[in-house]
Amino acid sequence: MMAGDNSGQGSEWWRGCVIYQVYPRSFQDTTGDGSGDLKGITARLAHIASLGVDAVWLSPFFKSPMADMGYDVSDYRDVDPMFGTLEDFDALVAEAHRLGLKLIIDQVISHSSDKHEWFAESRASRDNAKADWYVWADAKPDGSAPNNWQSLFGGPAWEWDATRRQYYMHNFLAAQPDLNFHNPDVQDALLDTVRFWLERGVDGFRLDTVNYYVHDRWLRDNPPLASSVAGTNGSTSTYGFQEHLFDKTRPENLEFLKRFRALLDEYPDRAAVGEVGDEERSLQTLAAYVSGGDKLQMCYTFDLLSPQFSAAHVRGCVEAFETTAPDGWVCWAFSNHDVVRHASRWTRPGESPDAMAKFSIALLSCLRGSICLYQGEELGLEEAELAYEDLRDPVGIRFWPGVKGRDGCRTPMVWQAEAENAGFSTAKPWLPVPLAHRGRAVDIQDGEGGSVLAAYRSILALRKLHSALIAGSIRFLEAEGDVLAFIRQQEDEILLCVFNFAAEPANWALPAELGDVEITPLAVDVAGVLGGVVEESALALPPLGSFVGRIG
């Protein structure tokens, strides 16, 4: 079995799989232009496979003017020259499959770039073949926007177009007009682009902003959030002041997701994971999108991508999902390309980011669901502090200094500590390589038993050996203080998982409900991670300590 092979799960390879997210622009440059490319990813796939993951998710590499770093697509069927060619993509697919890795690509279909040929035709007149392919609306009598909807990036979600003399909707940048999913021709065209990549051998899709596809056809105003009326919700964007009832998460979206799933089902062993961005009802939305076996295989929310770090928070999130979506499947992640890296987000003053990184991968690997890792977290990379003049993210540029944007988690991967630009590129990188990251480069950590990288490899290998951690049930046990304890069970395999979130040692008394059982540690100290010790009728855990043991 190859390093990333999860083929034993057959057509449900996605259930319990480990996904590694690559941000292509920051992974490896082979052309000397300062930006990563597809050939660079292919060259580094062996590193990804060495972690023991099952799949690779690529953030967008499609043709794009890069107004939002590729999340503004101008051609859904081509590779942006910055990243290479379709032939480069085919070579990447072939190498991933040779290494036993599934390949997942980002589908950004809620909106396109304003440079897409579809939008160019749509905005040309009100009566052309694609006039209704985007969300257009007349101005109010006083010339103002059609309703009160706000862009996630701040300000109204409407942009005036002088040619059509109408407004068009954009949930994000004005350069990202929203497609009109009420038009079946739009759905057909988008599904055709999905088929294009299925035919090229991709194994799955990560659906960006999956609950933003459909808008309220009557364009009703969103009501204000009760907290925002008093100005107490702390939002740095006008978007956070509304309850988003009508601009997203519409019931009609479920019908499109059924069409998407039907297309996937034409190809064996394909899967999709949706990104649910829904502040008020994320779990209910997730449950609806993964229930019934006729929509998405799994979704993820931002619940564990927040600054909250406690046993109670994690338990609350997991139990809420298990209750709300008992027949669904979730994908958990602690970091991605849109949030502050968790090694910075959760490490408290005086604590070691390495200790936090090791604790986090142990915890993530024991949760019920699939898991997603973000490039560089296996090195314990912290959020980069960048100067304003180095920013490339439109969010950071617009809202600085209140919001620093997302560039701090998107800086280049560090491969060789002493090499030019840490081995990422021979040219000036598109974002700086932080000096602090060099000391965590792959070549330094590779082969070092106590490194974060070694911990990731060890813990993921441990997870792969135990079916209870991949697809087993989960049941929480009572624990005092900042301790999280739960049982994972798959048939006869019963595992006890206990985590001390506190900065002080903890003693967790084995609950009476376990009975008189023998608990055997799976590993006493895997790369400095699982340091919990059974002492008579209690479990001793160091600060940020973890324990995984077999019961019986």
Catalytic residues, by residue number, are 208, 266
Token pair for 366: 């024991």
Which residue shows structure tokens 């059924």? Answer: 258
Nearest CA-CA partner of 409 in 357, 305, 339: 339
d(CA 494, CA 497): 10
Residues constituting the chain: 552
Q: Which residues contact 153 (CB under 8 A, 6 or more apart)?
A: 172, 173, 237, 239, 394, 395, 398
Q: In whole angstroms, how far apart are CA 192 and each of 3, 259, 420?
A: 33, 12, 43
Nearest CA-CA partner of 96 in 25, 43, 27, 165: 43
133 and 190 Cβ atoms separated by less than 8 Å: no
d(CA 548, CA 175): 49
Cα torsion 32, 34, 40, 44 to 10°: value is 120
User: What backbone torsions phi and psi does residue 551 show, to the nearest 5 degrees?
Assistant: -95, 130
Token pair for 290: 């993964």
User: DSSP strand E in 381-505: where?
Assistant: 473-477, 483-490, 493-500
103 and 56 Cβ atoms separated by less than 8 Å: yes
32 and 426 Cβ atoms separated by less than 8 Å: yes
Q: In whole angstroms, how far apart are CA 505 and each of 150, 325, 343, 356, 380?
A: 47, 35, 20, 15, 23
Alpha carbon 164 to chain centroid, angstroms? 37
DSSP helix, strand, coil percent of the chain (3-state; round to 5): 30, 20, 50
The count of C-alpha atoms lying within 13 angstroms of the C-alpha of 318, restricted to the half-sphere facing its C-beta, is 24
Burial class (CB in 10 A: 0-12, 13-18, 19+), 477: middle
Query: Can you give the C-alpha Rg of the chain in angstroms?
Result: 24
Token pair for 515: 């009975």
Nearest CA-CA partner of 434 in 344, 339, 351, 527: 344
Q: In whole angstroms, how far apart are CA 72 and each of 106, 176, 359?
A: 12, 6, 36
Nearest CA-CA partner of 537 in 513, 511, 500: 511
